[in-house]
Amino acid sequence: MQNLFIKTYGCQMNEYDSERMADLLAQSHGLTLVDDPQQADVLLLNTCSIREKAEDKVFTQLGFWRPFKEKRPEVIIGVGGCVASQEGAKLRRRAPYVDLVFGPQTLHRLPDLLDACLAERHPQVDVEFPVLEKFDRLPQRPGRDGATAFLTIQEGCDKFCTFCVVPHTRGREYSRSMPDILREARSLVDQGVREITLLGQNVNAYRGGTGLIGVGGLAELLERLSRIPGLLRLRYTTSHPSNLDDELIAAHGSIDILAPHLHLPVQSGSDRILRRMHRKHNVEQYLDKIARLRAARPGIQISSDFIVGFPGETEADFAATMDLIEAVRFDQSFSFKYSQRPNTPALKLKDDVPEAEKDARLAILQGRINGLAQGYAQALVGTRQAVLITGPSRRDPQEVTGKTACNRSVNLPGSSAWAGQMLDIEITAALPNSLRGRLAQSDPTAHRLAV
């Protein structure tokens, strides 16, 4: 047994978890990641159940892998993530050839599960929520590009929005302690990481032990992280509007390495729908927080998640969402058609917006958001931006790729020796999904700009 293949669906937390799985199995069983599933001895699927479409993909993918096991019965197939958590042992009814089922909170037990499966020649299922032991047992390392990394600081969610499966699959809110996070961040920076994105399902609900007496919130953690020498940029995702408190708003004004960009999902611009979604905030409160954020950090870009076609959403409710988009002028955002999820309270509401109407609303909303995002990108042309170079461009070895403060990719002619540097780049063009630029400073090794 030597080769491992992992396919990941869903959010950044899943990507982070998949990297940890690869590290764990490299340490415990000497497994090496391969790009071709047919070469793999262990195949893992890290699943997402946030929306219906994401879940459907799981069983389709397992169907593709089934023949590998028929050809080589010693192949191990494992399913982790939120679908595993939601379905547990039931998953094997639909896909009996699956050997391992583990949840987001038991992925650290993967080496033991694999051993048990091999020793007993029997499938293993472990989808408990022993969140406390998880972080202690996970190895850490920078992301693949070496200059950026994700760092999970919080997991789970206690908000129970009526449409959302997360509180049921990822469990209750849990925050890691500040000393643990600071230690991990310092070690990432020592390994060359220059930008850290703090992750959590409800990251701004973070309340972790300070290492002294008591607990502190995200603003305090960001402030402590910003003092790490060599760390050039900080981000955090995903936030809930009701946890964006005064302290955190002030942090956006006072911490200069905090990127001037915030993903703050609103879901709908109709108070009636927000109530039905159990979102705990209304439109006025959301707008007030955005206004205060913009006062604290002029120019901050805001992105969001939207759901169209939530049960009972009328034309007028949808129009209110479009009005909110005009009022806030969101940057690149995510939008989805509502889909019913297992165990969620919204199942009691009739899914009454016809599919064709959901499609039409989604197209209108996405058209407007894409137009706004393209406008922001165009406005960058001719300006100079602090761009963190992450490494060689995938398409052209003569070029490098980097990221702006507002989280856009920039490609430019350059040397991969620039990786990990924050450079002064003139933006020369805005393409649909990326920017082009050129070096605006003379010697890239001589300057390191602040964000």
390 binds ligand 5AD (CB under 6 A): no
Of 123 and 167, nearer to ligand SF4 (C-beta) is 167
| 157 marked as binding residue | yes
Strands (E), 12-144: 32-33, 42-47, 76-81, 100-102, 124-126
Whether 375 and 301 have beta carbons less than 8 Å apart is answered as no
Pairing of strands 409-413, 435-439: parallel
d(Cα 272, Cα 418) in Å, to the nearest integer? 51
265 is an interface residue for ligand 5AD by CB under 6 A: yes
Instruction: Rule CB under 6 A: say whether 245 interacts with ligand 5AD.
Output: no
Q: Restricting to residues 220-259, which ones interact with ligand SF4 according to CB under 6 A?
A: 240
Q: At what angle do helices 246-254 and 218-226 cross, to 10 degrees?
A: 20
Residue 406 is labelled as binding a ligand: no
- What is the residue type of 15? E
Between 114 and 198, name the residue whose CB sits nearer to ligand 5AD. Answer: 198
Nearest approach, Cβ of residue 278 and ligand SF4 (Å): 8
Which pair of structure tokens corresponds to residue 413?
């002619």
Sheet holding 42-47, edge to edge: 32-33, 3-8, 42-47, 76-81, 100-102, 124-126
- Does the footprint of ligand SF4 cover residue 390 (CB under 6 A)? no
Site map for ligand 5AD, 297-336, x if CB under 6 A? --------x-x----------------------------x
**Helix axes 283-296 and 246-254, enclosed angle (nearest 10):** 30
Q: Is 11 annotated as a binding residue?
A: yes
Residue 236, interface with ligand 5AD (CB under 6 A)?
no
User: Taking the alpha carbons of 450, 445, 406, 240 in that order, is the dihedral positive or negative?
Assistant: negative
The nearest distance, CB 68 to ligand 5AD, in angstroms, is: 31
* Contact status: 286 vs ligand 5AD (CB under 6 A): no
Residues 152-191, interacting with ligand SF4 (CB under 6 A): 157, 159-161, 164, 166-167
CB neighbourhood size of 131 (10 A): 18
Residue among 322, 197, 316, 311 at smallest CA distance from 266: 322
Q: Is 9 in the site for ligand 5AD (CB under 6 A)?
A: no
CA distance 159 to 242: 10
188 to 207, contacts with ligand SF4 by CB under 6 A?
201-202
Q: Closest distance between ligand 5AD and the C-beta of residue 93, in Å?
A: 23
Is 164 among the residues that bind ligand 5AD (CB under 6 A)? yes
CA dihedral 376, 286, 237, 62 (to 10 degrees): -90
Site string (101-140) toward ligand 5AD, x via CB under 6 A? ----------------------------------------
Nearer to ligand SF4, 123 or 241 (CB): 241
Which residues contact ligand SF4 by CB under 6 A? 157, 159-161, 164, 166-167, 201-202, 240
